[in-house]
């Protein structure tokens, strides 16, 4: 473990020692807690490190570092708090330091062992808690401000889009054009975000060139966190994001669920819509002008009508050519015309081009990572509901004895006497379920189910990744379970217990009905395929930790 050199220790020991207790902590910054540390400086995101004099009730040092930065950053911030504190504090050493993280406590004890400072653990840091609560409240005050008369109407339209669930049927490459020709906007190009159940929303690009340029940048070879963040801020679009409210859901379900299922079955009460704009010269902005709010309202209403009419047709794996024309009431009663014509259409040629670019990037030598196994995320359809659960004897008998259900047995088949079985249930639409089954059959079935660690370098979030190993030795992503998310961690805890209880025997069941009344609760007649397989740890399969390359690919480290 690193420790301060003797020269630095002598210098710090010359500082006056205060009879005070300092609180220190490192916490991730939420999206609405972006700090500007210097006037005119760039907004930074990552982890915030705070050192506070609990006796005097003042902040001595604050810094923001990338989430992947090691614990040394906590020591650097502490040295700043001692030697160069924020005004009006004077340079000094504390008598005692308290932290709420055991790892930080042990690291500080090793690094500061020659400074005669007591370093203790406490479960709560009330002063720092108050500071972070204030930052959160400030961030919430900066959230989308919607001008009248569009504020309530936009919220209502957002909830309608949530209930439409376009991410169940459209991938982010399947683009929809909305022709407005009003408020200096000609056509908006809409990309639907599903992110495998991690993030939901709509990006409405003001030009097709902006959409293509952004995708080219995130598919490129330089996918460093700095480059990805810069690419994000240089988009030219309006957006609607859905913030998922998690705590209300945790006690509502008796069986372990994936992170996606809770949101899918509880809309709209479990979401909060956020609106805003991105522009290369402005960056991110949530304070919308009246024309922007009007544009968003017209676009969302037109999309809602389009989804209502063409939802079944959009379930095809290939985006069909569809078009709808609508006359939408103008909410500004003083303006003319009273009805505004809007045209919505799909862009199959653009979708084909973007999909080809994505596939080329994933299959390139740089993306494949040399000798490592191939990892893909294009088998399990976006918008699928993933459920980790125990399968009852009734289901087992139905799947084994129904001729219309495809059944694949691995080399280590499940005992016929098995009365219950842990399964990964993948529920999607009927056409996409049939495509998935076809692809899995072509890949020689499923050899193993695995949960492997992964990290997103852009946000610093860590995940346990659900993977299927197919018979051709490729790996396929089916779910992302966030570390620290109580619902996700509960699901994986149950899976780990079942793995031991059933000696690694498990199954993968493919079901339809995700867009109907059986969403999240498939019936026997919705079950199409049963793959008998094994649950294995990543070490047995030779998998290292993984790193997310934006929303496109998981890269082996």
**Domains annotated on the chain, with CATH:** 6-141 (3.30.420.10), 151-355 (no CATH), 371-556 (no CATH)
pTM above 0.95, yes or no: no
pLDDT of residue 275: 92
β-strand pairing of 505-511 with 527-535: antiparallel
pLDDT of residue 134: 67
pLDDT of residue 41: 36
pLDDT of residue 4: 77
* Spatial distance between the Cα atoms of 256 and 495, rounded to a whole number of angstroms: 8
Yes or no: say if 259 and 487 are a contact pair by the CB < 8 Å rule.
Answer: yes
* Spatial distance between the Cα atoms of 91 and 419, rounded to a whole number of angstroms: 69
* Spatial distance between the Cα atoms of 496 and 483, rounded to a whole number of angstroms: 15
Residue 345 sits at the vertex; the CA angle it makes with 150 and 320, to the nearest 5 degrees, is: 135
pLDDT of residue 264: 35
Which residues, 6+ apart, have CB-to-CB distance to 343 below 8 Å? 178, 179, 323, 324, 325, 326
* Spatial distance between the Cα atoms of 163 and 44, rounded to a whole number of angstroms: 34
* Spatial distance between the Cα atoms of 80 and 82, rounded to a whole number of angstroms: 5
Cα–Cα distance list, 370 to 226, 475, 543, 553 (Å): 24, 15, 14, 15
Q: What is the pLDDT of residues 273-316, one digit of tens each?
A: 889 898 888 778 888 888 999 999 999 999 999 999 998 888 77
| Cβ neighbours of 452 (radius 10 Å) | 22
**Per residue of the chain (557 residues), what is the pLDDT tens digit?**
567 777 688 888 889 998 899 999 998 876 444 444 433 334 445 788 999 998 888 889 888 888 778 888 899 899 989 988 887 788 999 999 999 998 899 889 888 888 889 999 998 888 888 887 766 554 444 444 688 778 889 999 999 999 888 887 888 889 999 999 998 899 999 999 864 445 688 999 999 999 998 888 877 655 555 666 677 778 899 999 987 664 433 333 344 333 333 333 333 346 788 898 988 887 788 888 889 999 999 999 999 999 999 988 887 768 899 999 999 998 877 777 889 999 999 999 999 898 888 767 655 544 444 444 567 878 888 778 999 999 988 898 899 889 889 998 765 567 766 778 999 999 998 889 998 999 999 888 999 999 998 876 555 678 899 999 998 888 898 988 988 888 889 999 999 999 888 888 899 999 998 887 888 889 999 999 999 999 998 888 878 777 654 433 444 44
pLDDT of residue 519: 87
């Amino acid at each position: 473990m690193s420790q301060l050199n003797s020269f630095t220790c002598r210098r710090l020991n010359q500082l006056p020692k205060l009879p005070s207790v300092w609180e220190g902590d490192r916490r991730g910054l939420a999206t609405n807690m972006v700090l500007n540390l210097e006037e005119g400086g760039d907004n930074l995101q990552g982890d915030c490190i705070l050192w506070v004099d609990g006796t005097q009730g003042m902040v001595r040092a604050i810094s923001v570092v990338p989430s992947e930065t090691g614990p040394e950053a906590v020591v650097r911030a502490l040295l700043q708090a001692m030697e160069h504190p924020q005004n009006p504090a004077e340079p000094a050493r504390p008598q005692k330091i308290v932290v709420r993280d055991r790892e930080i406590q042990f690291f500080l004890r090793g690094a500061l062992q020659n400074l005669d400072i007591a370093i203790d653990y406490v479960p709560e840091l009330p002063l720092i808690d108050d500071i972070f609560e204030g930052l959160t409240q400030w961030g919430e005050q900066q959230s989308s401000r919607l001008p009248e008369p569009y504020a309530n109407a936009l919220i209502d339209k957002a909830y309608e889009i949530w209930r439409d669930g376009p991410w169940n049927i459209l991938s982010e490459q399947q683009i929809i054009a909305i022709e407005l020709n009003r408020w200096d906007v000609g056509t908006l190009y809409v990309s639907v975000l599903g992110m495998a159940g991690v993030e939901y929303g709509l990006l409405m690009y003001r030009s097709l060139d902006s959409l293509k340029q952004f995708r080219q940048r995130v598919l490129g070879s330089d996918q460093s966190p700095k480059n990805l963040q810069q690419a994000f801020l240089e988009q030219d679009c309006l957006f609607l994001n859905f913030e998922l409210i998690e705590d209300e859901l945790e006690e509502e379900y008796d069986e372990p669920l994936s992170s996606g299922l809770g949101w899918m079955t509880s809309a709209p009460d479990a979401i909060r819509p956020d609106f805003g704009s991105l522009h290369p010269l402005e960056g991110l902005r949530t304070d919308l002008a009246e024309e922007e709010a009007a544009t968003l309202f017209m676009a969302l209403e037109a999309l809602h009508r389009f989804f209502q009419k063409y939802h079944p047709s959009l379930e095809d794996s290939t985006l069909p050519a569809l078009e709808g024309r609508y006359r939408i009431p103008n909410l500004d009663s003083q303006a003319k015309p009273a009805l505004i014509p809007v045209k919505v259409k799909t862009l199959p040629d653009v979708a084909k081009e973007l999909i080809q670019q994505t596939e080329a990037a994933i299959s390139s030598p740089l993306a494949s990572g040399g000798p490592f196994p191939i990892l893909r995320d294009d088998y399990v359809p976006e918008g699928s509901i993933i459920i980790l659960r125990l399968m009852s004897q009734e289901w087992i008998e139905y799947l084994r004895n129904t001729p219309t259900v495809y059944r694949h047995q691995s080399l280590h088949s499940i005992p016929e006497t098995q009365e219950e079985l842990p399964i990964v249930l993948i529920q999607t639409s009927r056409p996409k379920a049939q495509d998935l089954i076809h692809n899995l059959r072509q890949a020689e079935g499923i050899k193993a189910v695995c949960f492997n660690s992964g990290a997103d370098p852009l946000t610093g979030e860590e995940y346990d990744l659900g993977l299927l190993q197919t018979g051709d030795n490729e790996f396929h992503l089916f779910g992302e379970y966030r570390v620290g998310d109580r619902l996700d961690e509960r699901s994986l805890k149950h899976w780990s217990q079942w793995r031991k209880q059933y000696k690694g025997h498990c199954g993968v069941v493919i079901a339809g009905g995700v867009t109907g009344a059986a969403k999240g609760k498939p019936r026997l007649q919705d079950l199409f395929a049963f793959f008998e397989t094994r649950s294995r740890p990543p070490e047995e399969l030779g998998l290292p930790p993984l790193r997310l390359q934006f929303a496109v690919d998981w890269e082996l480290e």
